[in-house]
Every structure is written in C-alpha cells, then in structure tokens.
Amino acid sequence: MGRIDLQQYGITVEEVDHNPPVAQLYADSIRADARSVIAGSGALIAYSGAKTGRSPLDKRVVEHDESRDEVWWGPINIPISDDAFHINRERAVDYLNTRSRLYCVDAFAGWDTATRVRVRVISARPYHALFMHTMLIRPTRAELDSFGAPDVVIFNAGQFAANLHTTGMTSKTSVDLNLESREIVILGTEYAGEMKKGVFTYMNYAAPKAGILSMHCSATADRKTGRTSILFGLSGTGKTTLSADPRRLLIGDDEHCWSDSGIYNIEGGCYAKAIFLSPESEPEIFEALRYGAVLENVIYDEQTHGVDFTDASITQNTRGAYPIEHVANATIPCVGDHPADVIFLTCDAFGVLPPVARLTPEEAMYHFISGYTAKVAGTEVGVTEPEATFSPCFGGPFLVWHPDKYAALLADKLRQHGSNVWLVNTGWTGGAYGTGQRMKLSLTRAIINSIHSGMLAGAPTRTDPVFGFEVVTQCPDVPDDVLWPENGWSDKAAYRAAAERLKGLFENNYKRFSS
C-alpha cells in the first residue's frame, strides 16, 4: 500500500513496502527464491531453509528490573542481558540495512477491538511478510491510516546468524523477546512459525497482566444458539480433528483470549500441519490452501503442479498458513460469548482415565497446570511402554508467567461464568496400549456433541476412587460399560495398579509447581 520510513529503528533502506498486496508478495517471493512457486491450488510454496521448526532452546527473554519478578525463569524462559539483546538487535538492523528492499506489515493481534495489540513486522523475505499478513488480523484501509505506534515490533533478520561470541548465545540461532521495549529479534532461523509464536508469547505476558486469560486452544460456537466452547489438547489428542466440525462455527484453531467481554481469537489465520493432508482426511483445511495461503517446505510436483503431501523428505513438519476466512464455517469477527464448556483432551495410553469426567474449578486448575497426555510404545526410539507427557496449561513452550497465574485466571473465570469443565480421554480403553484399543472416534464425537448440546451437564456421575473427579456414567450413543474404564479390564488389580501409577506421575509432575 505504499512506502514507510523506518529510520526510527535505525533502518535506512529506502525501498520499504508497507502492507503490500498479496499479488506483489507472490511475485517478489518467486523472484527472490528460485524454489518458490505457485501450486495448482493457488497457494504460494516457500521454503524456510535449514530450520524447519521452532528452536525452543534458542529462545531468550531479556532479564530486566521491571519484569524480572514476573517471568517464570527456567528452560522455557532463558534469560539474556539487556546488553546482549541490544547487540543482537543491532546485528539484525545492520543486516536489514544491507538489503535493497524490505517489507513492513502492520496488523493486529486479537479480534477484540478494545484490547487488540498492534504488531509491526519488518522482514527481508517477502514470504515472511505474506505469512504474517496471513496469520495476523488484516487492517482495513481506515484502520491502517490510523494505526499509530505499534505495541510490538518484530525484526526478522533470520537469514543472518547470531554471533556465538555474544553472551548467552549457544548456537547461531536466537529469538529474543524484550518485554520492556516490546521488541522481538530473530537471527539464524527463517522458519516463519517463530514470528507467530513470538507474538503469542508476548500475548501470554501482556494479557494476564491485564487480567485477561491467554490460551493455547481452539474455540467453536453453536450455529443457532451461539453457545461457545474451548478445547485444549496437546499433539495427538485429536484437537484439530474434533474442532473441525462443519456443524459449528469456527472462532479459531490455536490461540485465544478470555476477557471480561468473552472469548476472541488472537489470530487472523490458521497454521495447520500439512503432512498426509488430503481432501478426504481434512477437507476444510485442504480447500483453505488456495490463493493467499502459504505452503511451507512441501514437495512440488512440476508435472501436475500439485503438492505431494505424503513426502516428508524436507521435514515431517510441513505446514500451511491460510486466512481464517478461507474456512467456510468461520465466524467473522472471530469472537464469542463466555464459554459454556471448557474441554481438556488427553490421549491416555495407560487406559485408566474415563472417556469423560466433569471437573470442579479446583480440579480444572490441577489438570490445566498438568496438561497431560501420553506417548505410546513404538512412536519414538527408546519408548517401550506408555510414557506420560506434561505441558503446563497445554502450551508450556509459550508461557511467560508461572503456570499458576494462568490457572488462577482460569478458575476465576469458570466460577464467574459458571462454565462446565470436562476431561475427555481420546486414548486407550479396555487396557493399556498394546492390550486395549484406541477409543473410537465416533464415541468421542458423540461425547463432544453431548457436551456442546448441554445434555451432559445434568448427566449422572460416579466418583473415581483414584483420581477423585466425577465420571459421567450415561451419554447418548456411548455404551455405559465404556464410560467406566475399569469395566473394560479383565484384570481389575492390573487396572488399579495402572491407575495408581498414573496418579503418582501426576503428583510428581505437580511438585514442580506446588511452590
């Protein structure tokens, strides 16, 4: 939409395109990178180079007097000095100043106009500009004219490596967040997802500070009543599959906030895994990857002009980014009422958690902080039996505050708005992995449908003797025997031993947060 002056950041490049149109970013990407091409569907295919995923061990947060006591320091938030941050910032600016043309994208994070965050992205690669144009909320012409000073600025110099002699650097990649200057500096990685998650990490600091709960979850609404639900779940629990329900309106698939006015999507786009994607398996996502979308690190077939989504020769983490309005059942603006239901998905490979249990606000805090699922034998080298995995608040890598901050906000909102909380096990039944079988998707869908309809709110329950929560014992289209997991085990003593073992794993994990 024109040029913009970035000299306030020390950037002196004259050719800086401000919110350029999609067509220009397509053309510039193809000119800049011989491998970039337009797929037959109309999506732009781009490549991120050596890094094809996030680099969590290279993420740094500036340790500053103003925010030092607010950050949950440790392996997730590794400190960096203010001096080291400014060395990296200067290195990024110096690199950007060597480019003949830059791209500046101004857009919003958060669909709630009262609390939305203004984000500015400065990059040298047009593909990065297109990615953030897709993933952020695109301003109207009038909103862009009155955009003002941004709340967050991203300096993406990912083509240029960090200097290993800079204090605190452990590799040539560094993704640094300065909470005081509200700046993000990217060096040594061209993976576009670092920008998306950089914005989410900032939101995970700023939103709770304002009493707003930021959440790594999907959100949907009933088409007729507007009744909303949010759905948490780690990889492999079925979150994407269960939230892609054409009978409901999609508010968002990944990042949301819960404020005094309701829930809202942080993003203006979706970032879906593309490996093994097909029109049969994920028709909504497959159809959304058209003009205006970005396909990342996929294999292009020159003869058919299509994409081989089964080819993982570059990475298993192939991705597709597309505007949320490409989803037929998306609701625009992406906002909703306070959720009637909050659902925690877990894939329990021990086979002892029930298909559905109702949680109190206190139990919800515990399971929210735990963020449990399980790996199964054979999926990774060295995994020979079910292995518990815990990610606090179902989004550990992106938290800034201690998990208790988010859990307390969740409990407060549950009590204030009377939301129902459900623990839904999409994992094993009738025994552990290797003995039992995976819960049928049709049964899980029946449970989710009954939650959404409100039918389970008054269903009879029975207290679990090991975990203490209330297990739902009757659900339409689900056999009663399935709902009480012990019924499926021929060896009842083995069931109780497995349940006690999993309870112990929960308790040991929770000790990390009990202080």
Considering just the CA atoms, what is the radius of gyration of the chain in Å?
A: 23
Given the residues 51, 138, 216, 358, the one annotated as active site: 216
Strands 248-252, 44-46: parallel, antiparallel or unpaired by DSSP? unpaired
Residue 511 annotated as catalytic: no
Residue 239 annotated as catalytic: yes
Given the residues 227, 239, 256, 413, the one annotated as active site: 239
Here the tokens at position 262 are: 């309701």
Given the residues 18, 51, 54, 248, the one annotated as active site: 54
Given the residues 98, 170, 235, 384, the one annotated as active site: 235
Surface-to-core class of residue 65, CB atoms within 10 Å of its CB (0-12 exposed, 13-18 middle, 19+ buried)? exposed
Given the residues 91, 125, 197, 413, the one annotated as active site: 197
Strands 269-273, 294-296: parallel, antiparallel or unpaired by DSSP? unpaired
Residue 216 annotated as catalytic: yes
Q: Which long-range contacts (CB under 8 A, 24 or more apart) does 23-31 make?
A: 24/126, 25/103, 25/126, 25/127, 25/129, 25/130, 25/133, 26/130, 28/101, 28/126, 29/125, 29/126, 29/127, 29/130
Residue 146 annotated as catalytic: no
CA distance 28 to 100: 13
* Three-state DSSP state, 5: coil
String of DSSP letters for 187-203: ES---THHHHHHHHHHH
Given the residues 201, 240, 318, 461, the one annotated as active site: 240
Residue 128 annotated as catalytic: no
Residue 91 annotated as catalytic: no
Given the residues 112, 254, 341, 348, the one annotated as active site: 254
Looking from the CA of 451 toward its CB, the CA atoms found within 13 Å total 30
Q: Are 192 and 52 in contact (CB under 8 A)?
A: no
Given the residues 120, 319, 358, 413, the one annotated as active site: 319
Closest CA to 349 of 379, 374, 325: 374
CA distance 128 to 81: 28
Residue 209 annotated as catalytic: no
Residue 18 annotated as catalytic: no
Give Cβ neighbours of residue 406 (< 8 Å, ≥ 6 apart): 204, 208, 213, 214, 215, 368, 393, 399
Where does residue 42 fall: left (phi above 0), alpha (psi -120 to 50 degrees), or beta otherwise?
Answer: left
Q: Which residues are catalytic?
A: 54, 197, 216, 235, 239-240, 254, 319
